[in-house]
Amino acid sequence: MDQQVDGSAGHPEARYGGAGRMSDATVAAHEQAAAALADFVPAANGFSGRDVPADDIFNRCVRCGLCLPTCPTYVETMVETSSPRGRIALIKSVAEGQLDMLSPGFVHQMSECLDCRACEAVCPSGVEYGKLLEPARTQINRALEQQRGPVRNFVRHLLLHVLFGNLAVMRVVSRLLWLVQRLGLQAMVHKSGLARLLGMQQMIELAPRVSDKFFVARDQRWEAKGAKKATVFLHGGCIMATAFAEIDFATVRVLQRAGCEVLAPAAQGCCGAITVHAGDMDAGRELAKRNIDAFERSGADYYVINAAGCGSTLKEYGHLFHEDPEWHARAVRFSAKVRDVTEFLDQIGIDENLGRIETTVTYQEPCHLVHAQRITQAPRNLLRKIPGLTLVEMNESSLCCGSAGIYNVTQPEMSQRLMERKAKNAAATGASCCATANPGCQLQVQAGLRREGSTMSVRHVIELLDESYRIADAVPAPATSRGTPATR
Same domain (yes/no): 140, 153:
no
Asked, for residue 409, whether it belongs to a domain, the answer is yes
> CB of 420 within 8 A of CB of 451?
yes
The mean per-residue pLDDT over the stretch 32-40 comes to 49
Same domain (yes/no): 138, 180:
no
Same domain (yes/no): 140, 182:
no
Asked, for residue 354, whether it belongs to a domain, the answer is no
Per the model's pLDDT, the better-predicted residue between 33 and 156 turns out to be 156
Same domain (yes/no): 328, 429:
no
Same domain (yes/no): 37, 131:
yes
> CB of 419 within 8 A of CB of 448?
yes
Q: 172 vs 184, 458, 480, CA distance in Å?
A: 19, 27, 20
State pLDDT tens for residues 134-144.
999 999 999 99
- For the CA atoms of 212, 218, 223, 228, the dihedral, rounded to the nearest 10 degrees, stands at 120
Who contacts 166 (Cβ-Cβ below 8 Å, separation ≥6)?
Answer: 269
Final residue of a domain: which of 124, 145, 166?
145
Same domain (yes/no): 373, 439:
yes
> CB of 412 within 8 A of CB of 395?
no
Same domain (yes/no): 369, 324:
no
Kindly tell me if the per-residue pLDDT of 187 is higher than 60. yes
In this structure, what CATH number is given to the domain that contains residue 386? 3.40.50.1860
Q: How many domains does the chain have?
A: 4
Picking from 406, 452, 423, 304, the residue whose alpha carbon sits closest to that of residue 364 is 423
Q: What is residue 181's DSSP assignment?
A: H
User: Which pTM was predicted?
Assistant: 0.85
Q: 353 vs 83, 232, 326, 346, 470, CA distance in Å?
A: 46, 22, 47, 15, 10
Run of H or E including 39:
none
Kindly tell me if the per-residue pLDDT of 398 is higher than 50. yes
- Output the CA torsion sign for 117, 118, 119, 121: positive
The mean per-residue pLDDT over the stretch 457-474 comes to 96
In this structure, what CATH number is given to the domain that contains residue 324? 3.40.50
φ, ψ for residue 33, nearest 5 deg: -65, -40
Same domain (yes/no): 96, 190:
no
Asked, for residue 395, whether it belongs to a domain, the answer is yes
State the Cα–Cα distance between residues 191 and 107, nearest whole angstrom: 35
Same domain (yes/no): 157, 244:
no
The mean per-residue pLDDT over the stretch 419-448 comes to 95
Same domain (yes/no): 383, 454:
yes
Return the amino acid letter for 149.
G
For residue 19, name the pLDDT band (cuts at 50, 70, 90). very low
Same domain (yes/no): 49, 140:
yes
Assign 255 to helix, strand or coil: helix
Asked, for residue 481, whether it belongs to a domain, the answer is no
Q: 457 vs 254, 393, 434, 447, CA distance in Å?
A: 21, 16, 6, 11
State the Cα–Cα distance between residues 337 and 319, nearest whole angstrom: 15
Tell me what pLDDT residue 400 has.
95
Asked, for residue 3, whether it belongs to a domain, the answer is no
Asked, for residue 486, whether it belongs to a domain, the answer is no
Q: In terms of residue numbers, what domain contains 67? A: 12-145
In this structure, what CATH number is given to the domain that contains residue 86? 1.10.1060.10
